[in-house]
Amino acid sequence: MTRVPDSTLLEQSHPSPGNVRHHLTSDTTRAVLGVQRHMLAVTRQHLTEAGFVEMLPPVIGPVTDPGTRGSKQVDVDFYGHRYKLMTSAILYKQASLLAYDKIFYIAPNVRLEPLETTDTRRHLAEFHQIDVEMAGASREQITGVLEQLVRQIVIRVVTDLPAELETLGRDPAAFQSLLNRGFGTMTHAQALETLSELGHEQNIETEIEWAGEALLSSHLDRPVFVTDYPKGSRGFYDRESQTEPGVLRNFDLLAPEGYGELCSGSEREYDYSRIVSRIRETGENPAKYGWYLDMLREGVPASAGFGIGLERFTRYLAGLDSVWRACAFPKLPGVVSP
């Protein structure tokens, strides 16, 4: 049965199907899409000048990213074979490094998010990511690439689109700390300590809950990397520290002002035997990842990468109350949409 939210939630969080025309013709939507279009242009220019090659990711495949925080995958019939719509292009990003050492995608993703995410104002069932992968990179190197990219996008939007920001009521002063100071860093354990002080307790072995992310984010004055998530809280492709067993060499990037997570990334596991062990630890059958494991057996480069949620990043830059406003044709979890 399709869930239909009550009218108050629909009005606050998502446009009804009958309001699509109003959504697309509104000054707000045009300003938001103008910001987003410029973000993509700056992304392509900046990464290309830094030596990254843009590639086109697949939309379907025999398997997709299993580490999607409770969301469901969408099956499609591919000539009698059960394929998946991509929830994330992570496996293909590692494969792409066989062609080029530095790559990026603007990648579409589909995730049937749990219905409770309808109220977070940060989740969509269909969205895009700015996906970046770099051979031979450490976590510190790839977070440096990410910080430079985010800062460049913000600088260009603030400089080039003052009229759009004015239409949206977004004060450029909101980005002063981001532009004038380096991004902050805290470990997962430190983040949980901070949340405990703020009255939010959670399991130390899991990812930070959505409510916890929003709470932590609301107390930040600049973007902050949260690092060192516990093993088991993320996908098998996040590399485990060789000096701190049980700790992953990964990170999230949280935006200030309560906007929450913008980006996730990590150093990648690339060793065949370790990947097989990690897959088995999750209770999955390694055989379903046949093409990927065959590739690993023959060898892939060590790498690190990240994926920025384009609509979430747009929401933050534009100062929007809900992420659906960063889409021309938004798909909110559980809501029937054009």
pLDDT tens-place string over residues 293-335 = 999 999 999 999 999 999 999 999 999 999 999 999 999 998 8
User: Rounded to 5 degrees, what are φ and ψ at 317?
Assistant: -65, -40
Contact 136, 302 (CB under 8 A): yes
User: Rounded to 5 degrees, what are φ and ψ at 262?
Assistant: -105, -25
Confidence of residue 9 (pLDDT cuts 50, 70, 90): very low
**Of 242, 252, 189, 165, which is closest to residue 217 (Cα–Cα)?**
252
Q: Between these two residues, 67 and 150, which has the higher pLDDT value? A: 150
Q: Is the pLDDT of residue 17 over 60?
A: no
User: Rounded to 5 degrees, what are φ and ψ at 183?
Assistant: -65, 150
55-101: pLDDT as tens digits: 999 999 999 988 667 789 999 999 999 999 999 999 999 999 999 99
Share of the chain above pLDDT 70, in %: 94
pLDDT at 19: 83
**Of 28, 45, 297, which is closest to residue 164 (Cα–Cα)?**
28
pLDDT at 11: 42
Tokens of 295: 């590739």
Q: Between these two residues, 281 and 157, which has the higher pLDDT value? A: 157
pLDDT at 15: 56
270-283: pLDDT as tens digits: 999 999 999 999 88
190-240: pLDDT as tens digits: 999 999 999 999 999 989 998 899 999 999 999 999 999 999 898 899 999
pLDDT at 71: 86
Q: Is the pLDDT of residue 6 over 60?
A: no
Tokens of 129: 């990511």
pLDDT at 67: 67
Confidence of residue 5 (pLDDT cuts 50, 70, 90): very low
Q: Is the pLDDT of residue 338 over 90?
A: no
